[in-house]
């Protein structure tokens, strides 16, 4: 009996010790008052030193939380149990949030640094006039490949069909991405709602199966870096990471066109500290801050003024900073509505079921 | 002939253990890699451990995880033992089986369902997500496990033991604290430690009920996956592995001492 009592009281005592320790850590960092700002971002998607600097500069304390998918973030914000002041959804999620009334309009009089953003990344279909969102990072969908394992140069989506790439292609697992390049390869818009075009794209994708090695998730980065496949369809952000791991590889934006994506800063309607949220956005828009953040994250920044603080080699890389001639041709995902999304999913599922 | 058989069995066992532990070993080795990724070992460094200890955000998350595990395991052990006693002493067979079935339903329910239900419940009740919501959820999924681990011990206990102590004049409280509880102590320990490990590595339920700046390790590691997990996480996993190893050794020592006492 004595042993049992000891066994049950020890954890409680230890827990309170640890709770006190946590309390002290939080106090040492100045948490506890009303001066907090809750930031909800993708995992490892900010240089955390910048958060410290922001705290010093403004006296606000940042509670930094992370998520791994737009859907997870949407659920959390919709559910409303937590007051997030800043979130970082991708384009299609933003239009969904606007539709569901989950965002607070941005007060541009509070954003001094907004002019730093390159105008070509503004006023996109998912948020006309950027009423609710400010661009954070952007990129494309394209093909990363290993020139040593591929005979020749890949320049277009159709090369995936035409080149000798038997059982050598990996695809990132995303409905819009895969259906999108199927449509693009036929010269159709990746936002098409024409069912015949979609069917045709799905039929064409099925003929790619002999070349497809697998449809995978995050492990695509590791697989490509380790030369497990010759080519892969990925987001440009992933591509730059893969190429950082393995310099043999290169990335190409296919000439038929592809998707242009954005992760944007927004203020959810549950925000408690709207003032602080604006301060945070303005801070991230600062040219030097954006440059350092870009350096850390490795994705492409929409911040024009930041470019001069970045490595010349990075900025002049047309693969990740294509000129406006290229980006003007690319398409941003439009919110197609529930029924069309379901149809896309259905076709994508059917394509996946055709696997060998 | 007999000797050879044992050797083969040993070989098999070694192979199984190798397969089970190789990934962990791999992870531990790479936590000392100066290269920065898991794709090639470049040289020895303690950099990741150093950055781990300076990362206060991660430290707080680890501490949160441990506090939740300890508290939820303790509370669910107490509740679980009471529950097991209730099932054991239930007079009607019908009551007994229904209680046990209800308990088992919770064990076989998928974590995602439990997590989502809790999210809906907490939202409806207006409970803020954070420390308490996570603690409550962890207690909830640990209690049935404790019950299922304690109940067999109760059932293997001879009922004559209780009758005898009653005959010798023991009160109900005496019977409970001097006969029943000491007898089922190994089961209680097993329940406590199982609940502890369940809580430490639960992702699915926790994911739904975290919020307001409160996160546990499983959720944090998962959300880092999009960017590729840094070796800091390897270092942390190594430390946690050692920590759980110590827990197991502690449990083993306690259990052995317990066994000796009983023999005496």
Enter the ipTM: 0.71
Nearest to A43 among B70, B182, B227 (CB): B227
User: Which residues have C-beta within 8 Å of that of residue A112, sequence separation ≥ 6?
Assistant: A282
| Closest-approach residue (CA) in chain A for B63 | A18
What CATH code is carried by the domain that includes residue A276? 3.40.190.10
A337 and A217 in a common domain: yes
| pLDDT for B259 | 66
> In percent, how much of chain A has pLDDT > 70?
97
Taking the alpha carbons at both ends of chain B, their separation in whole angstroms is 39
Average pLDDT, chain A: 87
Q: Give CA–CA dist A256/A252, Å, rounded.
A: 11
Q: CB-based contact (8 Å) between B71 and chain A?
A: yes
Local structure of residue B179 (DSSP, 8 states):
I
In a domain, A186, yes or no: yes
A321 marked ligand binding residue: no
Domains along the sequence of chain B with CATH? 52-262 (1.10.3720.10)
A199 and A89 in a common domain: no
A68 and A39 in a common domain: yes
A89 and A203 in a common domain: no
Please state the domain count of chain A.
2
A146 and A247 in a common domain: yes
Nearest to B71 among A15, A43, A245 (CB): A15
In a domain, A5, yes or no: no
Angle between helices A2-28 and B181-201 (to 10 degrees): 30
Contact check, Cβ <8 Å, B182/A1: yes
Q: What does each of the 264 residues of chain B score in pLDDT, given as a tens digit? A: 555 566 888 899 999 999 999 988 988 888 888 776 666 777 888 888 888 888 777 888 888 888 999 999 999 999 999 999 999 888 888 988 898 888 888 888 888 899 989 988 888 887 878 888 899 999 999 999 999 999 999 888 888 888 898 888 888 888 888 888 888 888 998 899 889 888 988 888 888 888 777 888 888 887 776 556 678 888 888 988 888 888 788 878 877 776 666 555
Q: Give CA–CA dist A204/B264, Å, rounded.
A: 77
In a domain, A290, yes or no: yes
Helices (H), B31-92: 47-54, 56-89
In a domain, A11, yes or no: no
| pLDDT for A319 | 87
SS3 (DSSP) at B73 = helix
Residues of A in contact with B207 (CB under 8 A): 72
A316 and A343 in a common domain: no
In a domain, A9, yes or no: no
Residues of A in contact with B66 (CB under 8 A): 15, 18
Taking alpha carbons only, the member of A147, A140, A136 closest to residue A243 is A147
More confident residue, A65 or A136: A136
In a domain, A285, yes or no: yes
A241 and A158 in a common domain: yes
In a domain, A15, yes or no: no
A317 and A239 in a common domain: no
A56 and A45 in a common domain: yes
Distance from CA of B175 to the nearest CA of A (A): 12
Distance from CA of B32 to the nearest CA of A (A): 18
Domain range for A97 = 35-137+261-322
A247 and A160 in a common domain: yes
Contact check, Cβ <8 Å, B67/A29: no
A168 and A105 in a common domain: no
- Give Cα separations from A127 to A103, A195, A279, A283, B230 (angstroms): 11, 26, 21, 22, 34
A212 and A191 in a common domain: yes
Query: DSSP string spanning A302-316?
Result: -BTGGGGGS-HHHHT
Q: Give CA–CA dist B192/A5, Å, rounded.
A: 13
In a domain, A83, yes or no: yes
pTM (2 decimals)?
Answer: 0.66
Helices (H), chain B: 2-30, 47-54, 56-89, 93-108, 111-125, 131-156, 159-167, 172-174, 181-201, 204-209, 217-224, 231-263
pLDDT tens across A166-185, in order? 888 999 888 888 999 999 99
Q: How far is CA B36 from the centre of its chain?
A: 31
């Amino acid at each position: 009996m004595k042993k049992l009592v000891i066994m049950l009281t020890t954890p409680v005592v230890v827990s309170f010790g640890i709770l006190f320790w946590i309390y002290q850590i939080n106090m040492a960092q100045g948490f506890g008052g009303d001066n907090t700002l809750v930031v909800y971002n993708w995992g490892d998607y900010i240089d955390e030193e910048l958060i410290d600097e922001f705290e010093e500069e403004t006296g606000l304390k940042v509670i930094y939380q992370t998520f791994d998918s737009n859907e997870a973030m949407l659920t959390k914000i919709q559910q409303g149990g937590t007051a997030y002041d800043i979130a970082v959804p991708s384009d299609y999620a933003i239009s969904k949030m606007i539709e569901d009334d989950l965002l607070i309009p941005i007060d541009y009089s509070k954003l001094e640094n907004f002019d730093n953003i390159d105008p070509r990344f503004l006023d996109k279909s998912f948020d006309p006039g950027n009423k609710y969102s400010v661009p954070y990072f952007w990129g494309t969908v394209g093909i990363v490949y290993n020139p040593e394992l591929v005979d020749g140069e890949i320049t277009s989506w159709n090369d995936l069909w035409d080149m000798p790439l038997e059982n050598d292609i990996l695809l990132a697992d995303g409905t819009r991405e895969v259906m999108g390049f199927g449509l693009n390869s036929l010269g159709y818009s990746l936002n098409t709602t024409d069912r015949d075009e979609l069917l045709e794209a799905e039929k064409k994708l099925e003929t790619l199966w002999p070349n497809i090695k697998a449809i995978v998730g995050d492990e695509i980065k590791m697989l490509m870096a380790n030369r497990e496949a010759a080519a892969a369809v990925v987001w440009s952000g992933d591509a730059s990471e893969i190429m950082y791991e393995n310099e043999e590889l290169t990335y190409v934006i296919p000439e038929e066109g592809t998707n242009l994506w954005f992760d944007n800063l927004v203020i959810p309607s549950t925000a408690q500290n709207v003032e602080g949220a604006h301060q945070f956005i303005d801070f991230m828009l600062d040219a030097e801050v954006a440059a350092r953040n870009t350096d850390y994250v490795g994705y492409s920044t929409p911040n024009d003024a930041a470019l001069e603080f970045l490595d010349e080699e990075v900025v002049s890389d047309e693969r990740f900073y294509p000129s406006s001639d290229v980006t003007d041709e690319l398409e941003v995902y439009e919110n197609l509505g529930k029924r069309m999304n379901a149809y896309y999913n259905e076709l994508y599922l059917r394509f996946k079921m055709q696997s060998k | 002939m007999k000797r050879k058989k044992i050797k083969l069995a040993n070989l098999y066992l070694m192979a199984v253990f190798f397969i089970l532990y190789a990934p962990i070993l791999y992870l531990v080795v790479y936590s000392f890699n100066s290269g920065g990724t898991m794709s090639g070992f470049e040289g020895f460094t303690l950099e990741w451990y150093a950055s781990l200890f300076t990362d206060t955000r991660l430290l707080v998350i680890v501490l949160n995880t441990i506090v939740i595990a300890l508290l939820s395991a303790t509370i669910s052990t107490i509740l679980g033992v009471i529950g097991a006693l209730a099932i054991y002493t239930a007079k009607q067979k019908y009551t007994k089986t229904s209680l046990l079935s209800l308990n088992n339903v919770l064990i076989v329910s998928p974590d995602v369902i439990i997590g989502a239900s809790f999210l809906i419940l907490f939202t409806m009740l207006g409970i803020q997500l954070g420390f308490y919501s996570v603690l409550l959820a962890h207690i909830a999924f640990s209690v049935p496990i404790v019950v299922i681990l304690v109940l067999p011990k109760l059932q293997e206990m001879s009922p004559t033991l209780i009758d005898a102590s009653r005959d010798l004049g023991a009160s109900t409280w005496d019977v409970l604290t001097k006969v029943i509880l000491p007898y089922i102590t190994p089961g209680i320990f097993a329940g406590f430690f199982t609940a502890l490990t369940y809580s430490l590595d639960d992702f699915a339920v926790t994911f739904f009920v975290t919020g307001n700046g409160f996160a546990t390790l499983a959720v944090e590691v998962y959300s880092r996956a999009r960017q590729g997990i840094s070796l800091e996480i390897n270092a942390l996993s190594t430390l946690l592995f050692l920590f759980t190893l110590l827990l197991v050794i502690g449990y083993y020592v306690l259990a052995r001492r317990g066994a000796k006492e009983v023999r005496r």
